[in-house]
A and B are shown apart, each in its own frame.
Chain A
Amino acid sequence: MNYPAPVPPMLRDIWESVARQPGRSGLMVLSVAMAWAILGVMSAARRGFELYVAELVAELGAHGAVLNMRTDSPVDRAFVRALMEAAPFASWSAIGMAAGIRLADAPDVKVGYADTAWVPMHRWVLREGRMFDEADIQMGGRVAVVSEAAAARYGWHAGTRVRTTDGQSLHILGVVGSDRPTPAELAEWHPSRAWVLLPAPTVALSSERTVDLVWLQCASPVQLRRAMELADRIRGSNPAAERAHWITADSAVAVARVWQRRVLRASAALAVAALWLGAVALGSLLLHDIRTRVPEIGLRRALGATPSDIAKLFSYEAMTLAIPASALGLWTAAMIVSRVRTWADLPWQLEFQDIGSLLVLAALFSFAVAWGPARMAARLPPAEALRND
């Protein structure tokens, strides 16, 4: 004798209802999951943009700016040297991405070129070893400093040798970290960026490597304005630098805000569409379920179910379907956010409190959608329902 499995009767009722119409249930789960995935990404993006702005402002400081040279600009290092000579009262530093270099055992680590001023200008500190100096640059040595995130991820230390994909060997001189106070989420994001910096002969040598960004730091806003004016004059006489443009804290915030609005508006529109689809799918699932279960509703009433028991049956059914579907959507959102962090290097973050709020929203959404059909089922006259076979 196999006794029935001790499954709570309500769960049993709900499972049977779902199994009865897998196609509709699947469509409903898919659309609700999609809606909550979009809402989750929206929530992470909203937070992420705030952090991004905070990061930009912290990086640029009150009296800093960046000249974005664009990676395909053929501007050579002579232009940077000219900037330095034109405004010697300011601190200048340049960085470029090493598009042609990859590390053999660390494919996710970004490799860039920087000059010796880069690390102190960004207030990063040496955790171990030393920063490369002019002598390293002059020697053209295959040396590097690495971020503590990269060092922690791959077990590197000062003195470790790493290989590039073209078979060259790089000697790690030092490990660099940041002690700058940042919001908790930003602190978590910031060191997660793993990078290796190779010495770049910013002023001295070589026009092989283009400049991506030139950073400018001044002691006052007056100095900053003056340095930017001087730099613009040089740009005016250098057609190759025409496409370069300034990024200041204010302009970065304004651009970030524009993108924040665009992303949030687009995702809100998508979320509304997906929610509408989810609501229609869930509502039609329940209505179809009720239509096919009229005799069962009559039986339940004959066995002693109250109208509210019947309403609960369908409301719980909707919630039991919609909440896991939303959880699935939020899991998808977490995956998307994780990819955005890795690929786009943006500090998007799906917080637990956002997940909790969105799950509560899912419960309210399913309750609101189920209310009408559940009420209709509860109001069915039991005598008529029993005759409807």
Chain B
Amino acid sequence: MVAVTGPSGSGKTTLLHLVALLDRPDQGEIFLNGRATRELDENVASRLRAEMVGMVFQRYHLLGHRTVLENVLFGFRYLPVPRSEAIERSLAALEQVGLASLADRPARLLSGGEMQRVALARGLAKQPCLLIADEPTGNLDAICAQQVMGILESVRAQGVAVLLATHNPAWAGRCDAVVQLGHGQPGAA
């Protein structure tokens, strides 16, 4: 579990997008699971992202009119996973984040903390190698943020790499490594 920290505008989100193959670096190379990605075709990059990377955003990016379960299932939208298996894995992910009882509820009716846990479940349900979380606690109160961090730590315990962008030194301190960004330049701490 690696934390990326730095002041606003230092490039934390950009770095995360580069790792998630959502953006291309001007220089240098990104290796995903040992594979160089800079010259990858857009379709191959999309497939790799679908299969290997789970993403969680500060502003959740849920589909408010869909239910909690449908939002988690949406994570499989571009994966060739049978529907029954996708439902099974989505329910398991909701169980993991403690929201299985709210599976039928429309996402717009959830609290901020619950929304972020649904987003986490969506990222986790497809069992990615790498979970990228862009300031997942940025909009949450302390208790909800604590819950989210607890889930991220449990994910780490399952062997999933977690790349976490955060402003909070306390959360960064709970990670295995910290990358400090300043003016776009990384420095390990």
Contact = CB atoms under 8 A, between A and B. Distances in A.
A296 B74 CA distance: 11
Contact of B46 (A4, A304, A386): A304
Say what secondary structure dominates the interface of chain A: helix
Interface in A258-312: 295-296, 298-309
B77 A383 contact: no
A304 B104 contact: no
A305 B67 contact: no
Give the top 6 A-B pairs by smallest Cβ distance, nearest first.
Answer: A304-B50, A304-B78, A383-B17, A383-B23, A306-B46, A382-B22
Contact of B47 (A6, A296, A304, A381): A304
Nearest to B134: A386
Contact of B65 (A1, A2, A16, A302): A16
B89 to A, nearest CB: 14
Contacts of A389: 59, 61
A239 interface: no
Contacts of B77: 9, 300, 303-305
A302 B49 contact: yes
Interface in B16-52: 17, 20, 22-23, 42-43, 46-47, 49-51
A4 B78 CA distance: 17
B130 interface: no
A300 B46 CA distance: 10
Interface of A: 1-4, 6, 9, 16, 295-296, 298-309, 381-383, 386-387, 389
Interface residues of B, number: 32
A304 B22 contact: no
B104 A303 contact: no
B123 to A, nearest CB: 9
Given A4-B69, A382-B22, A305 B46 contact: yes
A381 B14 CA distance: 12
B75 interface: yes
Given A1-B104, A304-B47, A383 B14 contact: yes
A299 B77 CA distance: 11
A3 B87 contact: yes
Nearest to A308: B43
A192 to B, nearest CB: 51
Interface in B59-80: 59, 61, 63, 65, 67, 69-70, 73-75, 77-79
Given A303-B74, A303-B77, A308-B43, A295 B61 contact: yes
16 contacts: A1-B103, A3-B87, A9-B77, A298-B61, A300-B77, A302-B49, A303-B78, A304-B51, A304-B77, A304-B78, A304-B79, A305-B78, A306-B78, A382-B17, A382-B23, A389-B61
A2 B104 contact: yes
